[in-house]
Amino acid sequence: MLYTTAGLVRYLSHFSYPWIVAYFGFFGYFLPIPDEGVFLVFGYLSGLGKFNFWLVFFAAILGGLVSDNIFYWLSVRESRHLHKFKKKINLEALIKYEQLMERNIGKTMILLRFFIGFRFLGPVLAGSLKIKWRKFFMYDVLISCGYAGLFMYLGFFFRHRLPQVISFVEKFHSLLLSAIGVILIFFLLRIILKKT
C-alpha cells in the first residue's frame, strides 16, 4: 500500500517536521522509495495546506545534509564499517565513479543523485578521495536545494494532477538513467583511449 501514490500520500501526511528531518537523514535509506516521489508528495501536501512548503523544504535539506556529512566524515576517517560496505559495491563501478569524481565533483554528485539508492555514494567518494569539506559541502547544498526544490515545486504546482506527474517523473527517471548510462560509457571510452 505504501508503494502506491495514495499509500505514499497517506503515509507522509502523518509526518511532523522533525520526522521529515529524520526520514531524509536516516529512514529514507531503508525504504525503496525514490526521493523524487517523496518530494513530489510533500509538495502536493504543501499545496493542499497540510504542510508549510518552506518548512518541509528546509527540514528535508537539513536531514539530507546531516546524513551526507556523516557519510563524508566516515569515509574521510576510513571507517571500517564503511570499508566493509564499499567492498560490496562493484569494484569497476566504484573506480569509474572515483575517476569521475576526481575530474568533476559537481557533475558526479548530480549523476549519483538521480540513481535510486545511490545518493550516499557521492559523499562516500568525496570523503575517500579527500576532497576538501568546504568544496563538498558547497556542492552538496546547491545540488540538494535544486533537486528538492524542483520536485517539491512540481508536486505543489501540479497538486491537482499528482498521479499524472508521478507517472511522468517515473518515465523521465528511466530516460534520464539511460542517458546517464550512455554518458558514462562515453567517458569510460575516452579514459581508455587516452591510456592506450
Q: What is the pLDDT of residues 91-134, one digit of tens each?
A: 555 666 666 676 777 777 777 776 666 677 778 778 878 888 89
Domain that holds residue 127: 5-195
* Averaged pLDDT for residues 69-74: 87
Residue 21 has pLDDT above 70, yes or no: yes
Give the single-character DSSP code of 62.
Answer: H
Q: What is the pLDDT of residues 122-154, one digit of tens each?
A: 787 788 788 888 988 998 899 899 989 998 998
Task: Please give the single-letter amino acid code of residue 67.
Answer: S
pLDDT value at position 1?
40
Q: What is the pLDDT of residues 149-189, one digit of tens each?
A: 998 998 888 877 766 666 666 666 666 666 666 666 766 66
Say whether pTM exceeds 0.85.
Answer: no
Residue 196 has pLDDT above 90, yes or no: no
Higher pLDDT, 195 or 48: 48
Q: How far is CA 34 from CA 30, 73, 129, in A?
A: 11, 25, 27
Contact status, residue 182 vs residue 53, Cβ threshold 8 Å: no
What's the CA angle centered on 107, arms 119 and 153, to 5 degrees?
65
Cα dihedral sign, 131-132-134-135: negative
Number of domains in the chain: 1
pLDDT value at position 95?
65
Rounded CA-CA distance 124/128 in Å is 6
Phi, psi torsion values for 23, nearest 5 degrees: -60, -50
